[in-house]
Structure 1
Amino acid sequence: MTRASLDKKPTDVAAMFDAVAAKYDVTNDVLSLGQARLWRRAAARAVDARPGERVLDLAAGTGTSALPFAEAGAYTVPCDFSLGMLAEGKRRLPWMPYVAGDATRLPFADGVFDAVTISFGLRNVSDVDGALRELLRVTRPRGRVVVCEFSHPTWAPFRTVYEEYLMRALPPVARRVSSSPDAYVYLAESIQEWPAQAGLARRMQDAGWTRVAWRNLTGGVVALHRGFKGA
């Protein structure tokens, strides 16, 4: 397949995720050196889903990230634009209410979710600001958002090592463990192009989210951003 360019054409990006769906979770564990599971646990704690709440997990992929919210007793909707990912998730967790949807045009009414979240998917959206506004639209007043995304390490020496890993070590590793290594080259490039922590916080605020704050994980390799709808 042809690697998608950084203009993030939805059809190209969806096709890449379709191609990696079967081994996606295992590949992430390998490429992140086991950190991916820790990051997802931290995101689940930040969402703090409660029994009876309604939670939207956008870019949910196979549903791995949505499972903790459902286990906490929340009605959880995993949503993704990759039909291959959703099909793989339905095979593994057939009881979850998977929904196909575009982040910039979500198929939900206004104000229906208590919490909305997206993990490692926002940077792949063609219109990031539009997606942040859509998440705000479907969230109830005083509801919350959690964005878990790759970011930029804050310590310069570590940042240099990390960037070397992304562009030099990750591609050959991906060729060994992934069914579509070109997809992971694209993902590495998209991480480098992504704004730093303060930049994403500003974009969330511009979209209408309030009390936006972030917390770094693994020295800033990943950042958890949280915000609220209204005061």
Structure 2
Amino acid sequence: MTRADLGKDPDQVSAMFDRVAARYDRTNNVLSVGNAPLWRVATTKAVAPRAGERILDVAAGTGTSSASLAKSGASVVAADFSPGMIEVGRRRQAGMPNIVFVEADATKLPFGDDEFDAVTISFGLRNVNEPKLALAEFFRVAKPGGRLVICEFSHPPTGVVRAGYHAYQRYVMPPLVKLSSSNDTAYEYLNESINAWPDQRTLAGWIRDAGWVDVEWRNLSMGIVALHRARKPVVE
């Protein structure tokens, strides 16, 4: 098995990411046409990390997003269920003492209640087989008043952009993947998972149903990506 399918069996998804770990960041930069660093900057600004805070970065992969958060002085737990990604991440982020890598399933996080000032996940929630359960887990481990930031592929609201993006997925992405990835068949799943993922409003509803409040989103790159934010309420 070189790729997962939309059943999103955790073992298959983990094994798929193990196989692409070494060239994952480079492939993302190529496929995003250079937008991946801009999305990361937007996500870091939305999380607004501060020195002394404890932040959970779920589906952290090789820790690129975690490193961006850790530059603030915050203590970052980089969680991922792919051992291959964690291995690469520990090596690449060895110079960041305030990042700790932990192998973890987003639906069964190995942390106590109310531990983190912020929880964030970038381009990982759609790979979870039970995303609603993951959102509930994020809520559980966040402190009262804690922040949630989700950066994920979404659905452009305008027809022209949607048509152009679908053309890119169909005709441009496959040859780029062959050039940049060590496992091009795994990226067939990428398009399938993006197209099957719910739109911005639906995801916002899932977040509210998990208990989060002040839920809002904004589109990045004309809605190809959406940034959702929310807060865990403080119980008086």
Structure 1 segments, 4+ long, off by >3 Å, are none
- Is 1:162 matched with 2:196? no
Tell me, which stretches of 5 or more residues in structure 2 are unaligned?
Answer: none
Aligned to 1:57: 57
Residue 174 (structure 1) aligned to one of 138, 155, 177: 177
CA deviations on 1:55-109 (whole Å, 9 max, x unpaired) are: 0000000000011211101111100000000000111112431000000000000
Is the Cα contact below 8 Å between 2:214 and 2:230 reproduced in 1?
A: yes
Residue 214 (structure 2) aligned to one of 211, 215, 218: 211
Aligned residues between the structures: 231
Is the Cα contact below 8 Å between 2:107 and 2:130 reproduced in 1?
A: yes
For the residues of structure 2 that align with 1:179 and 1:74, how far apart are their CA atoms?
33
Tell me, which stretches of 5 or more residues in structure 1 are unaligned?
Answer: none
Residues 53-202 of structure 1 mapped to structure 2, 5 A cutoff: 53-94=53-94, 95=97, 96-202=99-205
For the residues of structure 1 that align with 2:54 and 2:155, how far apart are their CA atoms?
31
Matching residue's letter, 1:115: A
For the residues of structure 2 that align with 1:15 and 1:224, how far apart are their CA atoms?
27
Q: SS state of the match for residue 179, structure 1?
A: coil
Residue 183 of structure 1 and its aligned partner are, at CA, apart by 1.4
CA deviations on 1:159-184 (whole Å, 9 max, x unpaired) are: 11101211332122101110011111
Q: SS state of the match for residue 214, structure 1?
A: strand
Q: SS state of the match for residue 79, structure 1?
A: strand
CA deviations on 1:102-142 (whole Å, 9 max, x unpaired) are: 00000000000000000000000010000000000000001
Matching residue's letter, 1:169: V
Residue 3 of structure 1 and its aligned partner are, at CA, apart by 2.6
Matching residue's letter, 1:5: D
Matching residue's letter, 1:198: R
Q: SS state of the match for residue 98, structure 1?
A: strand
Q: SS state of the match for residue 192, structure 2?
A: helix
Scaled by the length of structure 1, the TM-score of the pair is: 0.98
Residue 229 (structure 2) aligned to one of 198, 222, 226: 226
CA deviations on 1:151-202 (whole Å, 9 max, x unpaired) are: 0111111111101211332122101110011111101110000001001000
Scaled by the length of structure 2, the TM-score of the pair is: 0.96
Matching residue's letter, 1:116: V
For the residues of structure 1 that align with 2:175 and 2:187, how far apart are their CA atoms?
10
* RMSD, aligned α-carbons: 0.9
For the residues of structure 1 that align with 2:185 and 2:112, how far apart are their CA atoms?
36
For the residues of structure 2 that align with 1:171 and 1:13, how far apart are their CA atoms?
20
Aligned to 2:30: 30
Q: SS state of the match for residue 133, structure 1?
A: helix
For the residues of structure 2 that align with 1:5 and 1:61, how far apart are their CA atoms?
19
Tell me the percent identity.
55
